[in-house]
Amino acid sequence: MLLVGVLVSGAAVVAQKWEQIAVLQADASRDETAIWVDNGDGFVLDGVIMIERRDGKLKDTYEVLHVYKKTVILKQPLRHDFPEGSRIYQ
């Protein structure tokens, strides 16, 4: 479990308890709104997810619009590139 405080859409999410729920199964590029994951079962619609690069040097948060099997549609485009294997928390 990861404990991180982040800024989401102008509102602080302080001391959010993040649990890993999935891993990217393909590279996800900046400006994309769909990501492919190993398991789409744990996502909460309209919830906030955090994507963390494998090296842990970059984390960013996004809101979930829709999940269809292993494809997650985000409400806003990715602001960064995330390689396959990046971890997803919610």
CATH of the domain at 63: 2.40.10
Closest to 13 in 3D by CA, of 51, 64, 61, 57: 61
Q: Is the pLDDT of residue 8 over 90?
A: no
pTM (predicted TM-score): 0.82
> Which structural domain, as residue segments, surrounds residue 9?
2-89
**Other beta carbons less than 10 A from residue 89's beta carbon:** 21
Query: What total of structural domains would you count in the chain?
Result: 1
pLDDT in tens, 44-74: 999 999 999 999 999 999 999 999 999 999 9
CA angle 51, 25, 15 (to 5 degrees): 20
Q: What is the four-CA torsion angle of 30, 41, 24, 79, rounded to 10 degrees?
A: 20
